[in-house]
Chain A
Amino acid sequence: MALKVEHELHRRRLGRNIGLGLVLLAFVGLVFGLTLVKTKRGDFNMQPEQSQTQQGASG
C-alpha cells in the first residue's frame, strides 16, 4: 500500500484551485483590456471640452 494516498478529493481540490487561478488571471486580463480600450476612447477624460472652456473664458 502506498504511503501517500491520492484520493478523488485531492484531485478535486487541485482542479478547483487551478481553475480559480485561471479565472482570476483572466479577470485581471479583462480589466486591463477594458482599461486600455476605454482610455483610448476617452471614457475617462476628466478635462472639460475645449469649446466650453473657450466659451466660458469669452463670457
Chain B
Amino acid sequence: MSDTSVNNTSKAAQVQIGQVQIGHGDAGFSDFYALLKPRVMSLVVFTALVGLLAAPQPVHPFVAFVAILFIALGGGASGALNMWWDADIDRIMKRTQKRPIPAGRVTEGEALGFGAFLSVFSVVMLGLAANWVAAGILAFTIFFYVVVYTMWLKRTTPQNIVIGGAAGAFPPMIGWAVATGGISIESVLMFCLTFMWTPPHFWALALFMKSDYHEAKVPMLTVTHGRKSTRLHILVYTLLLAPVAIGISFTSIGGPVYLAVSLIFNALFVKGAWDIWRRDEAQAEADGYRTEKKVFGLSLLYLFAQFGAILVESTLRIYGMGGW
C-alpha cells in the first residue's frame, strides 16, 4: 500500500469519525448563534430600538438595553424554531444549505429545544424587565412567525409573505410598548410600514432566486402565478406602501426631516418597482437580474432610512427641534 493511499484512508476515517461524533449533540457555540438568524435579528433590534426611542415616555437606559436584548432573543428563538420546522426544505435550497441543521452541525431536536426554551425565557424576562403588554406582543410575534407563517402559510399559499410579514413588523410596536405600556396610532403605523414593505422586498428576492423556491416546492408568487404577475404585485404593493410611509410624517413621531427622507426613498422605491414591472424575463436574464437585485438592495436601504429618519426626529425633539 502506498503512502498516498494510507494517508487517504486515514483522512477518510477522520472525516467519518468527525461526522459521527459531531452529529450527536456536539455543535459549537457559533452554531447555536447561527440558529438565531443574526442578520434578521439586526433588523429586529434596529426597528424595536426606534420604536422605543420614538415613544413619548423616557425609559431608563439599562431597562431599554435589557428590553431590546430580550426582544432580539425572542426574534432569534423564533428563527431557531423556523429552522427546526423547515430543515427539510433548507436542505434543498442552495441559499439555506449551509445553515446549522442541513449542514449536520446541529440536530433538529437541539434546535427545537433551544428555540422553545429561548422563546419562553425571552417573553418572561421582557415581562419582568419592562411590562407584560410588551411581553404579550413578543409572545404573539413568536407564535405568529412559527405557527402561522412557518407551519401554516409558508407551504400552503403564495400570500405567505404578505400575511407572514406581520411577524417581522411587530418589533417597533414592542419597543413602543416597552416605553408606554400600550399601543397607539404611531406604533400601528410603524407596524404597517414594515408590513407593507415586506412583500415587495421578498418578491424582488424571489425573482432572482426562483429556482430555489421552485425546487423546495414553496408556493412563492413567482412559482404559482409566474414572474410577470410577481412584477405587477411588486409595483402595486410599493404604491400602497408609499402613502403609509409618508403618512407617518404627520403623526407625533414624524416631522420635516422624516417627510423629506420618506418622499425621496418612496420615489426611488416606486421608480425601482416601475422598472421591474416594465421588464420581461428575457431582459432580466440577459443582464443577470440587475434591476431586481438593485431594487432588493434599495429596499433594505429604504427601511433603514425610514426608521433612521424617525430616530433623527426623536433625537431632534429632545433638543426642541423635531416634529412640526
Contacts and interface: CB of A to CB of B under 8 A. Distances in A.
Contacts of A19: 29, 32
Contact of B129 (A7, A8, A18, A34): A34
Interface string B4-39: 000000000000011001100011111010000000
Interface string B249-290: 000000000000000000000000000000000000000000
A34 B22 CA distance: 38
B18 A30 contact: no
A42 to B, nearest CB: 12
A20 interface: yes
Interface in A5-24: 7-9, 11-13, 15-16, 18-20
A33 B62 contact: yes
B66 interface: yes
A34 B29 contact: no
Given A33-B62, A37-B63, A41-B60, A8 B18 contact: yes
A11 B28 CA distance: 8
A31 B26 CA distance: 29
Given A7-B18, A8-B22, A41-B60, A15 B66 contact: no
A8 B18 CA distance: 7
Interface residues of B, number: 17
B66 A33 contact: yes
Interface residues of A, number: 16
B69 interface: yes
Nearest to A33: B62
Q: Considering residues A9, A12, A18, which has the most beta carbons from chain B within 10 angstroms of its beta carbon?
A: A12
A11 B128 CA distance: 36
A37 B65 CA distance: 12
Nearest to A17: B29
A13 B26 contact: yes
Nearest to A12: B28
Given A8-B22, A11-B28, A34-B62, 19 more contacts: A7-B21, A8-B18, A9-B18, A9-B21, A9-B26, A12-B26, A15-B30, A16-B28, A16-B32, A18-B29, A19-B32, A20-B29, A30-B66, A33-B62, A33-B66, A34-B129, A37-B60, A37-B62, A37-B63
Closest 5 CB pairs of A and B: A19-B29, A12-B28, A16-B29, A15-B28, A15-B29
30 contacts: A7-B17, A7-B18, A7-B21, A8-B18, A8-B22, A9-B18, A9-B22, A9-B26, A12-B26, A12-B27, A15-B28, A15-B29, A15-B30, A16-B27, A16-B29, A18-B29, A19-B32, A20-B29, A30-B66, A30-B69, A33-B62, A33-B66, A34-B62, A34-B63, A34-B66, A34-B129, A37-B60, A37-B62, A37-B63, A41-B60
Interface of A: 7-9, 11-13, 15-16, 18-20, 30, 33-34, 37, 41
